[in-house]
Chain A
Amino acid sequence: MSLHGLTIHELREMLAQRQVSAVELTRDVLHRIEKVEDKVKAYITLDPEGAIEQAEAADIKLKEGTGGPLCGIPLSIKDVLCTAGMPTTCGSRMLENFIPPYNATSVMKLKEAGGVLLGKVAMDEFAMGSTSENCAFGPPKNPWNTEYICGGSSGGSAASVAADECIASLGTDTGGSIRQPASHCGVVGLKPTYGRVSRYGLVAFASSLDQIGPLTKDVTDCALMMNVISGYDVKDSTSVNQQVPDFRKALTEGLQGMKVGIPKEYFSKGLDPEVEKAVQQSINILREIGAETVEVSLPHTDYCVAVYYIIAPAEASSNLARYDGVRYGFRDKSSDTLLDMYKNSRSQGLGAEVKRRIIIGTYGLSSGYYDAYYKKASQVRTLITEDFKEVFKTCDLLASPVTPTPAWKLGEKADDPLSVYLSDILTISANLAGIPGISVPCGFSGAGLPIGLQIQGAHFQEEKLLKAAYNLEQRLNISQLRTEYL
């Protein structure tokens, strides 16, 4: 297999033993991008020269034996994470020319670990969407079939990993934006516990829900990325001062004694039969390899989309007030007064879905509606969180589908925002409750599109998630299928 098709853990060995240099590897991935990017459109910004320079520096460290855990590994970054000196557009015309003066903490950690940043990948504008079609610079395509959506909002991250246009990527998840595209593109995606990874330098969408996490080719790589990006950061007052384990250590432990809950509400009507079949098969495997499974109930699941589509837009309407054409971003230069400049800059710089959510959020927070919408939703959020607390008294993990259906065709739901919102029904609760969730490939639809299994756990139980996902992956051997299909 060519270098670009390999994983972090395979390449790390080869780089350490000098069987391949970081420059050779980076050149190989850049060639791969040249070959397939016209079809996939994963990248918004690509920096080949910078990548080669970083790879040269990595080779020096590798020679000295002083390289970090990702030394020489080519990575892509969702374009919502600040990269010093490299444009960070958030998929928006508003930030088309924005060049951050600093790195996000997660990006800084990847760099310090020796990672080679190839560029920035496509996403729904300001991470608002589930298809990446809301990207102002055109949507990335699903590498398995380029007529289909790759999911979103971290669509470019999932597509670039699936198409071998990078070795691994960093995405963000506010309501499923790592797990859902990972599921649609047949890669591994982990949304860590809220507070596990610093959000410093992540351009905010909904601050109480946003979390950064890895998208990788397999579970081992996911653990290796988590080892690097996790940890308390004084610059993020919501990051949690909790010890970071070596996530790779737990992987190879068996599942004996582990109790996996199957939430019955996640298998209700509207679940695609092919998805259900693949997921049930994986649950059977978990049972065969030692886990005990038990049906459980999360009674408020049906309310999570309604809660989310009040809380997330409310936080967004406040967070996005900063785009006023003054300090950065697009400015309408024809305006004569300050108020007109605000309105014109925002109206021209922001896309339709972003405006829709700002309006919903402003409405839900406005005088006379606050109690009926925002307060009510925040109370139901408490009930949803308590459902999980109750279930995790008796279960270690929860297994379920990630999405009710496999990927759909580009443009298919473009005029129906509510139906797209409803496709997030199985991932949103984790963000509301702040718990970790992983999507691991578990099968394919009849049309040949990937299907993922979601495993969720209690706060800071990422090790258990990764262990279950790893054991399943070993049995299914599905990552091996992710070869040269483009």
Chain B
Amino acid sequence: MKITPQEIAHVASLARLHMSQEEAGAMAQQLDEILTYVAKLNELDTEGIIPTTHAISIVNAFREDEVKPSLSRDEALANGPGQNGEAFVVPRVI
């Protein structure tokens, strides 16, 4: 077993997901299978190989810092599940 239900619960918490014990158990099993499979990468010696982050790298995609029209506040708030016309409203933080 590469990964335990306890580890799944920890990772789920990092990812802001609830996971019941049952779900964590099933997820651990599936993840274990997947992680066993991806462990085949260890067959390869990658010492000194530069990691690829983008297949086509564009260096310094700069643009002029100009003010341009963008979404109005009403448009930006339109999809908010909780809002008061001025801001998004969320449950208390502390």
Which residues on the B side are within 8 Å of A237 (C-beta)? 58, 61
Pairwise interchain contact B15-A358, C-beta atoms closer than 8 A:
yes
Pairwise interchain contact A382-B56, C-beta atoms closer than 8 A:
no
CA distance A240 to B57 in the complex (A): 9
Beyond A306-B41, A381-B51, A381-B52, whether A366 also contacts B11 by CB under 8 A is yes
Number of chain B residues whose Cβ lies closer than 8 Å to a Cβ of chain A: 47
Partner of B38, one of A300, A309, A317, A435: A309
| A20 shortest CB reach to chain B, Å | 38
Pairwise interchain contact A363-B3, C-beta atoms closer than 8 A:
yes
Name the residue on A nearest B64 (C-beta): A234
Pairwise interchain contact B17-A359, C-beta atoms closer than 8 A:
yes
CA distance A341 to B91 in the complex (A): 8
Pairwise interchain contact A338-B90, C-beta atoms closer than 8 A:
yes
C-beta contact mask, A193-219 vs B, less than 8 Å → 1, else 0?
111000000000000100000000000
B30 CB-CB contact with A under 8 Å: yes
CA distance A356 to B41 in the complex (A): 21
| Residues of chain B from 40 to 82 with CB closer than 8 A to chain A in the complex | 40-42, 44, 46, 49-56, 58, 61, 63, 71, 75-76, 78-82
Which residues on the A side are within 8 Å of B90 (C-beta)? 326, 338, 341
| B39 shortest CB reach to chain A, Å | 8
Which residues on the B side are within 8 Å of A338 (C-beta)? 90-93
Pairwise interchain contact B17-A101, C-beta atoms closer than 8 A:
no
Which residues on the B side are within 8 Å of A336 (C-beta)? 91-92
Q: Which residues of A contact B (CB under 8 A)?
A: 97-99, 101-102, 193-195, 208, 234, 237-238, 240, 300, 302-303, 305-307, 309-310, 317, 321, 324-331, 333, 335-344, 346-347, 350, 355-356, 358-360, 362-363, 366, 373, 375-383, 385, 417-418, 421, 431-435, 459
Q: List 18 A-B contacts (CB under 8 A).
A: A194-B54, A208-B54, A237-B58, A237-B61, A326-B82, A327-B88, A346-B17, A359-B11, A363-B11, A366-B11, A373-B38, A375-B51, A379-B50, A379-B52, A382-B51, A418-B30, A431-B55, A432-B55
